[in-house]
Amino acid sequence: MSFTDKYEMVCGVETHVEMATKTKIFCGCSTEFGGEQNTHVCPVCLGLPGVLPVLNKEVVNLAIKAGLALNCEIAEFSKFDRKNYFYPDLTKNYQTSQYDLPICKNGWLDVTVNRANKRIGITRAHMEEDAGKLVHSGETIMTSSSSGVDYNRTGVPLLEIVSEPDMRSIDEVLAYLEQLVQIMDYAGISDCKLEQGSVRFDINVSLRLKGTEQFGIRTETKNLNSFSSVRRCLEYETERQAEALDDGGEIIQETRTWDEGRGMTLSLRSKEEAHDYRYFPEPDLMPLVIDRDWVERIRASLPELPAAKKARLQSHGLSEYDAGVITAARAMAAFFDQALARIDDAKLLANWVMGDLSGLLKTNGRSFEDSPVSPEQLAGMLTLIKKGDISGKIGKNVLEEIYNTGKDPETIIKEKGLVQISDESELGIIVDGILTANEKSVADYQAGKESALGFLVGQVMKATKGQANPGLVNKLLKEKLAQ
């Protein structure tokens, strides 16, 4: 019996999002990723004796914005606290974070899993500073003879978003995380580059017998930074817990780490060694009094979020699936919207955006953010198709030509002579020629063999190098064959 028949998982996630500010949370150093080690540092973010933090107001702006996007209450009075612990990559040996009065709380996110809607609660979101990065001389900390610390990341602003333990399946967890990251991306809270660690997940999971209310004992697996790791980690961890419970064992409440290479979670520290963080209000920073006008100004600046965008696209006649695919990535959605402003056919546009253009970009390793085909150019080309100036087939060639040359579709079809032949007399002459040259097919058709018509259409298209208007060809052939 698999565990899914017997147990139900209960999962909550803490998500750390690096906020997209130019400078750090408490000093003016750059937050740019990938600088040479220890070049984006100053006495303040190095925590030298005597330094003091000064709060970056942009961090508060982004935190409020994120809170609004996640349907949170924004605190009127908030403060920073010190979380005291001993870590080698945190120079002050305490982290300036928020404890009992976070800036955002009581929010929610709606996700759809297997056509069912589910609301996931968001307990809180708070601001804090990131730590530095250990650089080991060997493979791991245990096998290294020495380790260095790169403090470039120290002081990069983080938003920690804590969910309620509302998720009951791996699909729900992933739907929540994908939706969350999407919102952070849309609202401009973070660049959301998971591969650079700008979003990290701590997964809390426990099992309970199906039908019971009481939560089981949970484990926390720290610092996952991809959706696939989350899925594999949850698969492993729920299986591990199920086996332990089946064997009559107990789950230990502990912190675990995910070993990507071995595909398993490993114990990091148990409850007995749990830290006493000795929180107290940060005396070097004044409390934050957030006036409602400030919040309303930020609310007014919020862009359309994925859920609203998806609903709007559906109102344009797109299927839920299509609308979902297009809103999934902010750049694709933005491209789509810009093109949609120029062509009133969402379905046609969606087919080309998700199909040919996506394919073309993917083949060339590019994204919608730096697409050589502009939304205007794609809309222009689709307008030509709709007017009947070019066929869909020619459109594919035109799109590639735009991609390669950057020229406008009108220019391309003029230069290449790709304009569709829609002149009835001109096409009539060509059709006559084809009928004369294919007497057998004409006879077949007249004998009731419908497929012969398709062959004749193909011959006309071939003779015109695909430029003949297919509808007109059909019409002319039928008329002439009926004579």
Partner 1 sequence: MTIFKSLEELHHMLVNKEISCVELTRSYLDYIDSADSQVKAFLTVTADSALMKAAKVDKKIAGGESLGPLEGLPMAMKDNMCTEGIPTTCGSRILKNFNPPYDATVTERLKAAGAVLLGKLNMDEFAMGSSTENSGFHPTANPWDLERVPGGSSGGSAACVAAREVPFALGSDTGGSIRQPAAFCGVVGLKPTYGAVSRYGLVAFASSLDQIGPLTTNVRDNALVLNAIAGHDPKDSTSVPFVKPDYTQFLENNVKGLKIGIPDEYFASGLNPDVAEVIQKAIRTFESLGAEIERCSLPHTEFAMPAYYIIAPAECSSNLARYDGVRYGYRAEADDMIEMFKKTREKGFGQEVKRRIMLGTYALSSGYYDAYYLKAQKVRTLIKQDFDRAFEKYDVLLSPTAPTTAYKIGEKSDPLAMYMGDVYTIPVNLAGLPAISAPAGFVGGMPVGMQLISKHFEEGTLYKAAYAFEQNTEYHLQMPALLKEVR
**Cβ proximity of 229 and 261 under 8 Å:** no
**Other beta carbons within 10 Å of 448:** 7
Q: How many residues sit close enough to partner 1 to count as binding (CB under 8 A)?
A: 27
Choices 129-137, 281-289, 356-364, 404-412; region in contact with partner 1 by CB under 8 A: 281-289
Of the candidates 31, 446, 98, 47, the one whose C-alpha atom is nearest the C-alpha of residue 287 is 98
DSSP 8-state assignment for residue 23? B
Residues 45-64 within binding reach of partner 1 (CB under 8 A): 46-55
CB of 88 to partner 1, least distance (A): 8
**Which residue, 270 or 315, has its beta carbon nearer to partner 1?**
270
Residues 231-250 within binding reach of partner 1 (CB under 8 A): none
> Token pair of 399, please?
């799109």
CB of 82 to partner 1, least distance (A): 5
**Cβ proximity of 59 and 96 under 8 Å:** no
Among 8, 171, 191, 284, binds partner 1 (CB under 8 A): 284
Contacts of 301 (CB under 8 A, 6+ apart): 65
Among 135, 209, 266, 286, binds partner 1 (CB under 8 A): 286
Calculate the CA 351 to chain-centre distance: 20
Q: Distance (Å, rounded) from C-alpha 252 to C-alpha 475?
A: 77
User: Coil, helix or strand for 408?
Assistant: coil
Told to check if 417 binds partner 1 by CB under 8 A, we report no
**Which residue, 171 or 284, has its beta carbon nearer to partner 1?**
284
Told to check if 279 binds partner 1 by CB under 8 A, we report yes
The continuous run of DSSP H or E covering 268 comes out as strand 264-270
The sign of the CA dihedral 19, 25, 30, 36 is negative
CB of 149 to partner 1, least distance (A): 9
Q: Give the number of residues written for the chain.
A: 483
CB of 128 to partner 1, least distance (A): 15
The C-alpha angle with vertex 225 and arms to 178 and 242, in degrees rounded to 5, equals: 85
**Which residue, 82 or 232, has its beta carbon nearer to partner 1?**
82
Among 276, 293, 370, 439, binds partner 1 (CB under 8 A): 276
Residues 335-364 within binding reach of partner 1 (CB under 8 A): none
Q: Identify the residue whose tokens are 């994908």.
A: 178
Choices 80-88, 229-237, 362-370, 437-445; region in contact with partner 1 by CB under 8 A: 80-88
Of the candidates 216, 118, 210, 217, the one whose C-alpha atom is nearest the C-alpha of residue 163 is 118
Told to check if 84 binds partner 1 by CB under 8 A, we report yes
Choices 56-64, 90-98, 335-343, 431-439; region in contact with partner 1 by CB under 8 A: 90-98
Told to check if 94 binds partner 1 by CB under 8 A, we report yes
Q: Which CA distances in Å does 171 have to 5, 115, 174, 193? A: 16, 12, 5, 22
> Token pair of 5, please?
């028949």
**Which residue, 195 or 276, has its beta carbon nearer to partner 1?**
276
Told to check if 278 binds partner 1 by CB under 8 A, we report yes
Told to check if 88 binds partner 1 by CB under 8 A, we report yes
Choices 84-92, 329-337, 404-412, 422-430; region in contact with partner 1 by CB under 8 A: 84-92
Q: Distance (Å, rounded) from C-alpha 189 to C-alpha 286?
A: 24
User: Coil, helix or strand for 448?
Assistant: coil
CB of 21 to partner 1, least distance (A): 17
Q: Distance (Å, rounded) from C-alpha 130 to C-alpha 273?
A: 23
**Which residue, 81 or 166, has its beta carbon nearer to partner 1?**
81
Told to check if 91 binds partner 1 by CB under 8 A, we report yes
Told to check if 300 binds partner 1 by CB under 8 A, we report no
Told to check if 92 binds partner 1 by CB under 8 A, we report yes
Told to check if 133 binds partner 1 by CB under 8 A, we report no
Q: Identify the residue whose tokens are 């979670």.
A: 265
CB of 126 to partner 1, least distance (A): 18
Q: Distance (Å, rounded) from C-alpha 94 to C-alpha 92?
A: 5
Q: Identify the residue whose tokens are 């100053």.
A: 42
Site map 7..46 versus partner 1, x via CB under 8 A: ------------------------------------x--x
Of the candidates 17, 26, 32, the one whose C-alpha atom is nearest the C-alpha of residue 92 is 26
CB of 137 to partner 1, least distance (A): 14
Site residues, partner 1 (CB under 8 A): 43, 46-55, 82, 84, 86, 88, 91-94, 276, 278-280, 283-286
